[in-house]
Structure formats: structure tokens, C-alpha cells
Amino acid sequence: MSLKNYILTRIFLAIPMIIILLAFIFLILRIIPGDPVLAMLGGKAPKEVIEQKRHELGLDKPLVVQFLNYFFGLFKGDFGKSTLTGRPVLDELKERFPATVELTLFAFIIAILIGIFGGTEAAKQKDKAPDVLARFFAIFMYAIPIFWLGLMFQLLFGVTLRWLPVAGRLSPAIQFKPITGLYIIDSLITGNWKAFVDVIKHLLMPGTALGLVISSIFLRMVRNNMVLVLSKDFIKAAIARGIENKNVLYKHALKNALVPIMTVMGLQLALLLAGAVLTETTFSWPGLGSYLVLKIRYRDFPAIQGAVVFFAIIVVIISIFVDIINAIVDPRVRY
């Protein structure tokens, strides 16, 4: 299969996947008891008012009709309106997404740095003290619930040492106008250095906590793959040819070890972009994760559906992207 065909096939296969997912979410939301009007007005408004509101939202129509309405709306870019706030879901998602992107990228960079360097060094010194330490670190971080780590960070760096703010993206008293929603970029564009420093300070704790937890996955994978690759003949040959140790490690071995890890990293990135729920709620980070938690509590159907479709699209795009990169790097994948 040519690369072009491979890409097209992957994209076409993604469409039914998203539709199935959408139908699934749609059904689940409606099968579980409770509906948005009740969640909002329950016990307050008279029964007639509740009935009328359900009618206005189209909740009294047959499920199939509701689904088709929603489905065709999506093609027009209409994600519906939140029943909680009355605003278009797409607008709300657009507001929340940059916060998640900023947090995710920050955490991801930390995770990759620790993962790759930690993993490579551990593999190089297999079974020696640094390796044991790295493995212990990985298991430890993997086992720790992120909200607990977050809370400990808050207590230490926020309350005791007072170095970093405990929550949110921005200090209340900082003057700031969001443009893109990515606060680091916004503060740079506007040359608002005070805000820039403040934004970075806010990002440090949640970003590091999240990054550390994810780095544990990467670290173990990189280490194991590197150990495998380092035992291969071509490495021995490279060493025998007198190539500098560092070069062997990072140029020859790491390149080969990274192929399988890329898939994992890509999917992990996609998952994170869908909102690191626990991190976001712990640090009052106004991203997609905390958005979803809020909306589920109020049975805000359009918002939950919208968010899930949005996640699905992100995951699909990134996984296609990862597959393509893999296909380029390793042509065997295509067949």
C-alpha cells in the first residue's frame, strides 16, 4: 500500500469510529435516569414548567429523532447549546481547550525530558544504582494518585514555602487580556512580562505534577527498549568502530528504541488533551477536564456530548498522525 492510500484508509476508518462513539455516548446519557431539566429545576418549578422546558429542548421527541437532529447539527458545526448556561457548546469548548493545551504541553515536555534522559541513562547503567533508582522512581510515580501528589505540592510550595500559587492560571490582581487563550503566548504577544511570569508560576505545579506521573510510563518504556537495543549487534559494531559513547547512545540506540514508544507517547498526548481531569480539579485549572466534571454533574447532555465528540476527534487525529509517522519511520507498518 502506498503511503497516500494508507493515510486515506486511516482517515476513512476513523469516521465510522466517531459515529459509533457518538451514538454510544448519546444512548448512555439517555438511558441513565435523570434529565437536565430536572437537574436544574427539580423541586422548584411546577410540573407544567418542567414539561414545557423538556419540550423546548426537544427531550420529549423520540430518541432517533433527537439523535439525527444532533448528528446533522454537528456537520454544520453546531454542537448544540449547553442546558446549564445556554451558550453554544463549541464556544465553551474553545474557551476551555487552550487551558488544557497549555497544561498538557508543559507536562508533556517535562515527561519526555525525564522519560528519555532518565530511561537512557538507566539503560546505560543497567542494574547499577542509577538504574535501580530510576526504576523505583517510575514505579513510585506511577502508583501515586495525582491528586495526592498535587495536594502535597500545594502544601509544600504553596502554603509552607509560599513560592508558587496554589490554583488557577492567573493571579487575581494581574491585569491581563486573553487573545488566543494560551496565556503564555498571550502575555508574550502583549509584552506583559508581569503576567508572563505569573502564568509560568501558575503552570509550574500542576504541569510538574502531571509531568512526573506521566514520565514514569515513558521512563520505564524507554529504559526497557534501550536495554533491548543496546544488546543488539549493530550497537556492538558501532562501539567497535570507535564511535563516541554518547553518540552511540543517543544517535544510534535511542532512535531505534523510540519507534514503539512514539505510539504510546502520541496516545498519551491525545488522552491528556482530552483533559487531565484529576489534575485540573485539584489545581482549579479551567480546562476541558474540569469542564466535563461540572457538566456531568448537571446532566448537561449537549455539553457532555460535545466534549466527548471533541475528545474523540482529537484522539483520532493524533492517532492517525502517530500511525503516519510510524509508517514513514518503519515501512513494515503499512503492510
Partner 1 sequence: MRNRFILLFIAMLVLVTSLMYATRDYIIIGTTDKIRSLDPARCYDYFSSNILQNVLSGFVDYEIGTTNLKPWLAEKWEISNDGKVYTFYLRKDATFEDGTPITAQVMKYSFDRVIKLNGDPAFLLSDIVDKTEVVDKYVFRVYLKYPFSAFLSVLGYTVAYPVNPKVYPEDSFYELAPSASGPYRIKEWIRDVRIVLEANPKYFGEKPKTKTIIINFYENASTLRLALETGEIDVAYRDLDPRDILEIEKDPRFVVYKGESPQIRYIVFNVKQKPFDDPNVRTGLAYAVDRNMIANEVFVGLVKPLYSMVPMGMWSHEDVFPKRDLEKAKEYLSQAGYDENNPLKIDFWYTPTHYGSTEADVAQIIKESLEETGVIKVTIKYAEWATYVDYFLNGTMGMFLLGWYPDYLDPDDYVWPFLSISGAKSLGSFYENQEVENLMVEARKSSDVEERTKIYKKVQEILVKDKPYVPLWQGVAICIAKPEIKGIVLEPTQIFRYYTLYSK
DSSP helix/strand/coil, 88: strand
Give whichever of 108 and 285 is closer to partner 1, judged by the CB atom: 285
Give whichever of 29 and 249 is closer to partner 1, judged by the CB atom: 29
CB of 20 to partner 1, least distance (A): 25
Question: Which of 122, 125, 123 lies closest to 137, judged by CA?
Answer: 122
CB of 87 to partner 1, least distance (A): 5
Termini Cα distance of the chain: 7
CB of 150 to partner 1, least distance (A): 10
Enumerate residues 6+ apart whose C-beta is below 8 A from 131: 122, 123, 125, 223
Give whichever of 143 and 159 is closer to partner 1, judged by the CB atom: 159
CB of 99 to partner 1, least distance (A): 9
Q: What angle is formed at CA 227 by the lines to CA 221 and CA 232, rounded to 5 degrees?
A: 130
Give yes or no for a contact between 34 and 28, defined as CB atoms under 8 angstroms apart. Answer: no
CA distance 292 to 302: 11
CB of 298 to partner 1, least distance (A): 7
Site residues for partner 1 per CB under 8 A: 32-36, 38-47, 49-50, 52-53, 56, 84-87, 92, 95, 151, 154-155, 158-159, 162, 165-173, 177-178, 280-286, 290, 294, 297-299
Locate 219 and state its grid cell.
Answer: 521512563
Locate 243 and state its grid cell.
Answer: 564511535
CA distance 136 to 139: 5
Give whichever of 128 and 297 is closer to partner 1, judged by the CB atom: 297
CA distance 120 to 330: 21
